[in-house]
Amino acid sequence: MKRVLLTLLCLVLLAGCANVPLESQPVVVSGDRQGQGQNVEAPDPPHDIDPLTLVRDFIGATLKPGQNNGAARAYLDDQGRAAWRPSRSLTIIQDTFGTVYDTEPQPDPSTQVVNVRGIDVGTLDQNSAFVPDYSSALLHVKVRKQPTGQWRIVDPPADLYATESDFSENYTAVPVVFYSESANTFVPDRRYVVAKPQAGLPSRVMDMLVNGPSTSLAGAVKNLLGEPVAIDTNVKSLDDGTLVIPLTGLTGVSDDIRNLIAAQIVLSLQYVTSARIRILADGAALVPNHPDWRQSDLPAYGAALSPSQDLLGLMTVGGRVRSLGDGAPIAGPAGNGGYDVVNAAQSIDGKRLAVVERAGGGVHLRIGDLGRELPQVNVAGSTLSRPTWRPGASEVWTVVDQLSVARIVLTPNGQWTPLTVNASDLIQQGSVSELRFSRDGARVAAVVGGQLWVASVVGSGGDSVSLREPRHLQPHDLQDVVDVDWLTQDTLVAVTSSVSQPVVRVTVDGQRLDAFNSSNLTTPVHGVTAAPSRPIVVADASGLWTASVLGEVWRPQNHSAKDADPFYPG
């Protein structure tokens, strides 16, 4: 009988094991910003800790390893530990915050209210995207002395709070990509995932892809992995290191879309894994005869969105357009003085030119083929911002009198026709002096009242286009901005009239700002142009200067000229 029972027990155990995956990644626990899935037992706070230190240490424990915010939960009383359900938003405050007792006396001497005073620099929203802010963070936290004589928090905040240092230490930025149909390329959507354990990063990135773009890009890009597509089972790694992505819900999807889905997954995961990626759809290869993928297997999506290396860039000097390469004026009226050029922009393919011409006490716009007579279009005003080309060479935007955005489109009959842009969300923030398209066309960067903003470009049906979700980048540390350009799809270079930081690099979400070396620039700096794999060119009071990386000393640009304004195609 013992042998029979032992045999039956083994069969039951084997049957159970057959349903357990050989390897699985940690699953993000709802309500736990960590998503780390580690059973780390949180220690109790130090004995006899005072209320001010208790609250400070509570904030410092927010991002420590452990399931369900266990490290921070240890600072709560018994009831709070059981009942606390913080939201999935994370408020990030400056490292230098203070804790002080509330001035209102408490009727119960065993109860105190501690005020947290600091600066809120931004929020990690429920999409794990950074939303910039700069405002006073005032948090009221009630603490009570327990029967044990120890102080504990009795009303924990509804949101999680963490310092900038703790955030940077525990989170990593991942440019999750989504598809732009209009530009036939992928657009990075900068998101933040918990850095450890590293093995769980691909799973967390895949969750973000399936959940779609963040609010800042909603409507500007397409979610190829939207419903009914889902992750079938856990993302896992095989013994040979291959990463397996099991999808479902793709019945009837065309091969073209399947290839785009594969590209979206591979381009997003390249930042968190170097493994070969096997993409499955309902157990079979997502793309027939192509089960495994590396980045080298993908076509060069968006290659046409960067200027060719033989297009060296142009500049406006003394009312004329000249080459950045040799300083010679370009052919045609824009270069020989036929137009009094205020500013200009070259199309990404180098074949067309848009110029703002000064005439009759105001300015107007001309667009046409490079080196030829440029027809005047029906756009004029007291001021026009430097034109910016949407991807392709058939649409130009400019800001009229800093109050409205004009969109000029090339019609099938060869005429340049002005259309309007619904830019009210951006215009209401202030006077817009500069506007630059990202090279994928999904966003614009703008200088509004001397500050830097980014907005998404959303098609509203038919020929209607709107600028949505404007975001103010680095509102406290970045002032007096005079010009901006796109260094990459998710990085900007801005120049300011400031002496202390005339040239800065800013992430598209405003989460990070870095200043370039300014030791040999003559302020004020008034112009900038940038492009992928190109040196940055800035214009200061003495001429043009180039640099490629942070910390590099600026070098004089060949054929520089005082009062020159540089621009690369785009």
What residues in the chain have per-residue pLDDT under 50? 1-39
Q: Are residues 155 and 200 in the same domain?
A: no
Q: Are residues 299 and 309 in the same domain?
A: no
Q: Residue 96: which CATH number?
A: 3.10.450
Cα separation of 70 and 104, whole Å? 31
- Give domain status of residue 204, yes or no: yes
Q: Are residues 389 and 478 in the same domain?
A: yes
- Give domain status of residue 184, yes or no: yes
State the amino acid at position 100 in one-letter form. Answer: V
| pLDDT for position 41 | 65
- Give domain status of residue 300, yes or no: yes
- Give domain status of residue 29, yes or no: no
Quick one: DSSP state of residue 103? S
Which runs of consecutive H residues, i.e. helices, occur in 146-253? Answer: 164-170, 201-211
Q: Are residues 317 and 447 in the same domain?
A: yes
Contact between 472 and 450 under an 8 Å Cβ cutoff? The reply is no
Q: Are residues 251 and 332 in the same domain?
A: no
Q: Residue 398's domain spans which residues?
A: 305-567
Q: Are residues 340 and 210 in the same domain?
A: no
- Give domain status of residue 430, yes or no: yes
Q: Are residues 216 and 326 in the same domain?
A: no
- Give domain status of residue 7, yes or no: no
Q: Are residues 60 and 132 in the same domain?
A: yes
- Give domain status of residue 5, yes or no: no
Q: Residue 378: which CATH number?
A: 2.130.10.10
What would the two tokens of residue 214 be?
């963040």
Q: Three-state DSSP class for 83?
A: helix
- Give domain status of residue 24, yes or no: no
| pLDDT for position 558 | 87
Domain limit, last residue, from 138, 170, 202: 170
Q: Are residues 353 and 473 in the same domain?
A: yes
Domain limit, last residue, from 170, 204, 223: 170
Q: Are residues 125 and 72 in the same domain?
A: yes
Dihedral pair phi/psi, residue 170, rounded to 5°: -105, -15
Q: Are residues 368 and 515 in the same domain?
A: yes
Number of domains in the chain: 3
| pLDDT for position 309 | 87
Cα separation of 259 and 404, whole Å? 40
Q: Are residues 133 and 206 in the same domain?
A: no
Q: Which residues contact 484 (CB under 8 A, 6 or more apart)?
A: 434, 436, 445, 446, 447, 452, 492, 493, 494, 495, 528
Domain limit, last residue, from 170, 190, 221: 170
Helix (H) or strand (E) holding 90: strand 90-93
pTM of the predicted structure, to 2 decimals: 0.88
Q: Which residues contact 102 (CB under 8 A, 6 or more apart)?
A: 112, 113, 114, 115, 140
